[in-house]
Structure 1
């Protein structure tokens, strides 16, 4: 959420940010003008309210003095004035509350401002690649897609999942079930033992306030899975991990906080009709290792680079060819100020697909959840900066392993780093 004081003092800053995100300039200007007018109504109302309350208190004291001096007419006039103020004040209070609520609602629907270095663009075609790892593998046969491999192995069952839960679910069996578990354990072990993240086992059911804090609500309500009145299944562990610092003031010595979790995630995929209907790329339920960092504004960009390196590290250990792109202004997420995507190569699809997204949200989420820290030499607390990144999506990592490590006979070689997690198994066969 944006600071209304910043908007009031530098309105052009928000206009430019919205234009970079694809809003027509006239519409952006009208939105900002409306916010400033609404804020002025709120501030003016607060000023008038304070004046009326002060006058009511003063008049109440004057009534007693007038009666004591025998000034009955003056006392009656003052009593009438107080009675009128008791009617006017609640009405003004309601108007101030209404203006505050409307301003809060409008501010909560505005996306974060992109950092200056984020490339301008309309969609994923304008993203900018800046690094690659490894090379595409060569095959003496036509590579198959992961679902073809899994179904042929008899260990990936979409039909059984559909009977249980509907489309966009999968039942994994036997060694593929163990492979999924192995991948998640390998990721979480690497981030905790090598990268300095603290493992957390958070709830996967959260309240409205938590979803608002990380900006899934209200704008993306249709993409979420409700779990009863006021509760939601998490779309990513970013939600509970980041909200651990909600409504709190940390000391600067506590920062950075680096947290990680391996959890199931749930997404309605409301806008994905017809996309990736086969296979495990776009599921309603999937496992993912999430990384979250809470840090100072001065360390935010440095921390994002570090988080990106941690996400890449697990893919490098798996020897999976991938590239890293900076998302353009038209493709980045609502709460993000800058996002790097890691896209892994899938030979069966003959395409790169996102496997991790690493974002800094500046103080955008922190303002929504009132998460602050107290600098060493400052009297007033400041908002923290929040960052999140996949470290990485377990299901998509399995997809990448199946397609990159497939053999002509239909078997799949287990990557070396996963062999200990697979009980020494080096090949998955039917």
Structure 2
């Protein structure tokens, strides 16, 4: 959520930000609401001042045995009008808050202008694409032929966009997650966490999934307003909701391996085969509570931590910077890591690392206490995939496939695979 004072004093800054993002949100709506809010507050205060001024006169008349009915009647009208105004003020403030909750974050000044993913500049490439002397297969065909992936049974159990992993494939997924957790905790200073995968509405609101993106979520069918998490970013970021962190503790860095659940609203017809766009998938997520002065250094470090996994696996990738029109709702700046998939003959996203600055911290009320100031400040929150396990599995299958349909296990994963070095067709 943006700073209310910024909206009130510099609405043009927000208007320009929305234009850069291609948003249709009208800043004038906020201005009109705020103008009405101030007018209501002024009228209420005036009526209360009048009531306070008349009070002693009423008491004086009563003490002297004089008639005060005219003043009492007038004060009755004042009270009724004040009640009406208070009710309208509550409605206006609620509408103003709803408007504020719908406004995306302001892009950092370094973010390139653009309207879609076509305008995202490539920052760097890493690794060479594998030179295959055969027509590469896609992961879903490789995994199915080797008996490791089953989409038909998953559809029987749950419907479309689900999968089952067996044997070597299940172990390979577990190995990938273990490599990610070991790397992020031992090399990059993240503390591993096992958070809830069911959270309440307030928690979803704190990180920006609600109210705007409710259709993208899986909501439990009861009256408690519980949701399945779309990413571990949600519970990890809200660990400090409503709390104040000592400045000495910053940065606080968490990582978690969890299942994630997404309705994939609006994705009809896209990636209907395979593991790229599932309703349920596993992901290792990184979250950083950073000092505002160091959050952009933290973004570079987080992106490097995500890249490290692909470097260990020796899988080619590229890093792109999202333009203003392609960034997520809460992000001020985002890097995407896209992995090369020979079977699809294209790069596909495997990680997204974002600095949300104080946008989420304002929603969730997460602050820190500076050593040299009595005034608390909002922290900056960052999040990034380190990595999406299912998509990383896709990358291993497609990049390490052999002409006979077998899969060579990357060296970095062999310690986790119990002696399995090659998966071969039966």
TM-score range, shorter chain: over 0.9
Q: Secondary structure at the match of 1:272?
A: coil
The Cα shift of 1:280 comes to 0.4
Aligned mates of 1:185, 1:314 — CA distance in 2: 11
Q: Which residue of 2 aligns with 1:76?
A: 69
Work out which of the residue numbers 104, 112, 115 in structure 2 matches 1:122.
115
Q: Which residue of 2 aligns with 1:12?
A: 12
Q: Which residue of 1 aligns with 2:156?
A: 163
State yes or no: 1:342 paired with 2:355.
Answer: no
State yes or no: 1:288 paired with 2:273.
Answer: no
Q: Secondary structure at the match of 1:417?
A: helix
The Cα shift of 1:58 comes to 4.1
Q: Secondary structure at the match of 1:419?
A: helix
Q: Which residue of 2 aligns with 1:148?
A: 141
Aligned mates of 2:60, 2:295 — CA distance in 1: 61
Q: Which residue of 2 aligns with 1:36?
A: 31
Work out which of the residue numbers 85, 90, 97 in structure 2 matches 1:92.
85
Q: Secondary structure at the match of 2:348?
A: strand
Q: Which residue of 2 aligns with 1:132?
A: 125
Work out which of the residue numbers 413, 416, 424 in structure 2 matches 1:421.
416
Q: Secondary structure at the match of 2:94?
A: helix
Q: Secondary structure at the match of 2:276?
A: coil
Aligned mates of 1:34, 1:125 — CA distance in 2: 31
Aligned partners of 1:60 and 1:79 also within 8 Å:
no
Q: Which residue of 2 aligns with 1:328?
A: 323
Q: Secondary structure at the match of 1:139?
A: coil
Aligned mates of 1:176, 1:429 — CA distance in 2: 12
Q: Which residue of 2 aligns with 1:387?
A: 382
Q: Which residue of 2 aligns with 1:186?
A: 179
Q: Which residue of 2 aligns with 1:22?
A: 22
Aligned mates of 1:172, 1:80 — CA distance in 2: 77
The Cα shift of 1:78 comes to 2.7
Aligned mates of 1:416, 1:76 — CA distance in 2: 92
Aligned mates of 1:405, 1:232 — CA distance in 2: 37
Q: Which residue of 1 aligns with 2:96?
A: 103
The Cα shift of 1:44 comes to 2.3
| Compared CA separation, residues 49 and 250, structure 1 to 2 (3 A) | farther
Aligned mates of 1:379, 1:423 — CA distance in 2: 55
Where structure 1 has 5 or more consecutive residues not aligned to the other structure, the ranges are none
Q: Secondary structure at the match of 1:89?
A: helix
State yes or no: 1:242 paired with 2:242.
Answer: no
Q: Secondary structure at the match of 2:143?
A: helix
The Cα shift of 1:219 comes to 1.4
Q: TM-score, normalised by structure 2?
A: 0.96
Where structure 2 has 5 or more consecutive residues not aligned to the other structure, the ranges are none
State yes or no: 1:312 paired with 2:299.
Answer: no
State yes or no: 1:397 paired with 2:392.
Answer: yes
Q: Which residue of 1 aligns with 2:196?
A: 203
Aligned mates of 2:150, 2:41 — CA distance in 1: 62
Work out which of the residue numbers 348, 353, 360 in structure 2 matches 1:358.
353
Aligned mates of 1:184, 1:36 — CA distance in 2: 48
Q: Which residue of 1 aligns with 2:106?
A: 113
Q: Secondary structure at the match of 1:90?
A: helix
Aligned mates of 1:177, 1:34 — CA distance in 2: 52
Aligned mates of 2:82, 2:245 — CA distance in 1: 38
Aligned mates of 2:128, 2:135 — CA distance in 1: 17
Aligned mates of 1:255, 1:76 — CA distance in 2: 64
The Cα shift of 1:204 comes to 0.4
Aligned mates of 1:205, 1:58 — CA distance in 2: 54
Aligned mates of 1:405, 1:235 — CA distance in 2: 29
Q: Deviations over 1:126-184 (max 9, x none)?
A: 10111111110111211111011101101111000000011111111011011111111
Aligned mates of 1:104, 1:118 — CA distance in 2: 27
Aligned mates of 2:45, 2:380 — CA distance in 1: 35
Aligned mates of 1:171, 1:425 — CA distance in 2: 20
Aligned mates of 1:48, 1:377 — CA distance in 2: 41
Q: Which residue of 1 aligns with 2:54?
A: 59
Q: TM-score, normalised by structure 1?
A: 0.96
Q: Which residue of 1 aligns with 2:249?
A: 254
Work out which of the residue numbers 252, 258, 270 in structure 2 matches 1:275.
270
Aligned mates of 1:40, 1:197 — CA distance in 2: 46
Between 1:409-418 and 1:156-165, the stretch displaced more is 409-418
Q: Secondary structure at the match of 1:357?
A: strand
Count residues with an aligned counterpart.
423
Q: Secondary structure at the match of 1:287?
A: strand
